[in-house]
A = this chain, B = another copy of it.
Amino acid sequence: MAKKNAFYAQSGGVTAVINASACGVIETARKHKDQIGTVYAGRNGIIGALTEDLIDTSMDTDAAIAALRHTPSGAFGSCRFKMKSLEANKREYERLIEVFKAHDIGYFFYNGGGDSADTCFKVSQLSEAMGYPIQAIHVPKTVDNDLPITDCCPGFGSVAKYIAVSTREASFDVASMAKTSTKVFVIEVMGRHAGWIAAAGGLAADADNDIPIVILFPEVQFDQAKFLAKVKEKVESHGYCTVVVSEGAHYPDGKFLAEAGTRDAFGHAQLGGAAPVVANMIKDALGYKYHWAVADYLQRAARHLASKTDVEQAYALGVAAVDLALAGKNSVMPTIDRQTDAPYTWKIGAAELKDVANVEKFMPADFITDDGFGITEKCRTYLSPLIQGEDYPPYKNGLPDYVKLQNVAVPKKLAEFKL
């Protein structure tokens, strides 16, 4: 097998552990210099490939690459850029192949969610059609946890841990104050289509911690009367209540709670958040004093509270992607295959990209309690292992010491390409 260079890119929303996968890819490639030349990274994701804006990762030291394991965000830049279908924009796919050819790239590692799995799949198909061999390997990543086949997606376990811990901590706070002050705390979490992250809020309560939590899932149509009755019941039984609302929570007609008609001073529809809408709704109907939080990027960037399980899986999948490439595989994605729940054991498997692309994994119906506001034991059994273990970053001056790579540009060889 002739020695080829590799291309690695990060796609879509970044996570606390996507760089751990990058670390796994680059460290493993460096161990196989006989078969893999330089690992080039796309600056700002796939756009870096299209515009031939490549980063020479060999310019960064082993220590800097190792530090990626504890650094959140996308070290090379990511992008939200969905490539159109092959039919609609073959030109872009051909450009990718052209850039790969110009830089002698034989391995394409694409680290992302559902859309990037699809892109990865198409690149492998086109490379065959165009007669330039590319081994396209997808490295799974998404806080949304919505990829099929794999037990879970790197990035999700750390968000889940952050939301579970934050929900527990805020609930302790509210419980202290409820007698004379705040009785309801609302926390808004990510997950526009699937309620995996919202479900993690339910882990804040357990056998040792009787915390009254009401969850609003995107999978359950919002019923205001039923919701308010549930909050009232919790406040009456516990003195307070914590509401975890998914940004994707919506009415039966599909309208998001977050879009519930809030207007600014000029009458423009205001993009608020679901949390203030829910909090005001409770105040209006039940009169309870409330506080609300919107975690937004804090949740997916919170490397300081990463799940050790998540970090290990993210790294292992990066390693496995290179191993698959070296084994001659193409159009595949390494997966986490759960062996047992407790203790949680897993091994690395592989899925065909044709089975991954364009398939979304939703919460199973039996993960949500019958009333629609909580998680079942089955859900708990699934989620709990994913938040196990702590993996603290090193600190310097009281703050996490995250790495910033040099990101040295590779000289261009081709004519400019207009996106």
Q: How far is the CA of A177 from the CA of B14 in the complex (A)?
A: 8
Q: Is A390 an interface residue (CB 8 A)?
A: yes
Choose the segment among A90-98, A133-141, A398-406 that binds chain B (4+ C-beta atoms closer than 8 Å).
A398-406
Q: Which of B74, B179, B304, B388 contacts A77 (CB 8 A)?
A: B179
Do A302 and B169 contact each other (CB < 8 Å), given the known contacts A291-B296, A387-B398? yes
In the assembled complex, the CB of A133 is this many whole angstroms from the nearest CB of chain B, namely 29
Tell whether, in the assembled complex, residue B398 and residue A164 are in contact, meaning their CB atoms are under 8 Å apart: yes
Q: Is A265 an interface residue (CB 8 A)?
A: yes
Query: What residues on B are CB-neighbors of A168 within 8 Å?
Result: 399-400, 402
Q: Is A124 an interface residue (CB 8 A)?
A: no
Q: How far is the CA of A273 from the CA of B276 in the complex (A)?
A: 8
Q: Mark A282-304, 1 if CB is under 8 A from B, else 0.
A: 00000000011111111011111
Q: Is A254 an interface residue (CB 8 A)?
A: no
Q: How far is the CA of A300 from the CA of B390 in the complex (A)?
A: 21
Q: Is A148 an interface residue (CB 8 A)?
A: no
Q: Mark A169-181, 1 if CB is under 8 A from B, else 0.
A: 1101111110111
Q: How far is the CA of A153 from the CA of B99 in the complex (A)?
A: 58
Interface residues on A, range: 35 or more
Q: Which of B14, B209, B276, B304 contacts A305 (CB 8 A)?
A: B304
In the assembled complex, the CB of A151 is this many whole angstroms from the nearest CB of chain B, namely 16
In the assembled complex, the CB of A68 is this many whole angstroms from the nearest CB of chain B, namely 12
Do A81 and B280 contact each other (CB < 8 Å), given the known contacts A172-B301, A262-B264? no
21 CB contacts below 8 A, A to B, read A13-B177, A45-B180, A47-B180, A77-B175, A77-B179, A79-B179, A80-B177, A80-B180, A164-B399, A165-B304, A165-B400, A169-B301, A170-B297, A170-B298, A182-B297, A209-B404, A260-B264, A262-B263, A262-B272, A263-B265, A275-B294
Q: How far is the CA of A401 from the CA of B208 in the complex (A)?
A: 9
Q: Is A206 an interface residue (CB 8 A)?
A: yes
Count of chain copies: 2
Tell whether, in the assembled complex, residue A297 and residue B264 are in contact, meaning their CB atoms are under 8 Å apart: no
Query: What residues on B are CB-neighbors of A384 within 8 Å?
Result: 397-398
Q: How far is the CA of A295 from the CA of B169 in the complex (A)?
A: 12
Query: What residues on B are CB-neighbors of A180 within 8 Å?
Result: 44-45, 47, 79-81
In the assembled complex, the CB of A210 is this many whole angstroms from the nearest CB of chain B, namely 9
Query: What residues on B are CB-neighbors of A170 within 8 Å?
Result: 296-298, 301
Q: Which of B74, B77, B295, B397 contacts A206 (CB 8 A)?
A: B397
Tell whether, in the assembled complex, residue B72 and residue A14 are in contact, meaning their CB atoms are under 8 Å apart: no
Tell whether, in the assembled complex, residue A280 and residue B271 are in contact, meaning their CB atoms are under 8 Å apart: yes
Tell whether, in the assembled complex, residue A303 and residue B169 are in contact, meaning their CB atoms are under 8 Å apart: yes
Q: How far is the CA of A208 from the CA of B313 in the complex (A)?
A: 29
Across the interface, name the chain B residue whose C-beta is closest to A188. Answer: B294
Across the interface, name the chain B residue whose C-beta is closest to A292. Answer: B296
Query: What residues on B are CB-neighbors of A224 within 8 Å?
Result: none
Tell whether, in the assembled complex, residue A276 and residue B270 are in contact, meaning their CB atoms are under 8 Å apart: yes
- In chain A, positions 342-395 with a C-beta closer than 8 Å to chain B are 384, 387-390, 392, 395
Q: Is A222 an interface residue (CB 8 A)?
A: no
In the assembled complex, the CB of A195 is this many whole angstroms from the nearest CB of chain B, namely 19
Q: How far is the CA of A314 from the CA of B5 in the complex (A)?
A: 56
Query: What residues on B are CB-neighbors of A165 within 8 Å?
Result: 304, 399-400
In the assembled complex, the CB of A5 is this many whole angstroms from the nearest CB of chain B, namely 23
Q: How far is the CA of A81 from the CA of B181 in the complex (A)?
A: 9
Q: Is A161 an interface residue (CB 8 A)?
A: yes
Q: How far is the CA of A271 from the CA of B284 in the complex (A)?
A: 12
Q: How far is the CA of A19 from the CA of B35 in the complex (A)?
A: 58
In the assembled complex, the CB of A26 is this many whole angstroms from the nearest CB of chain B, namely 17
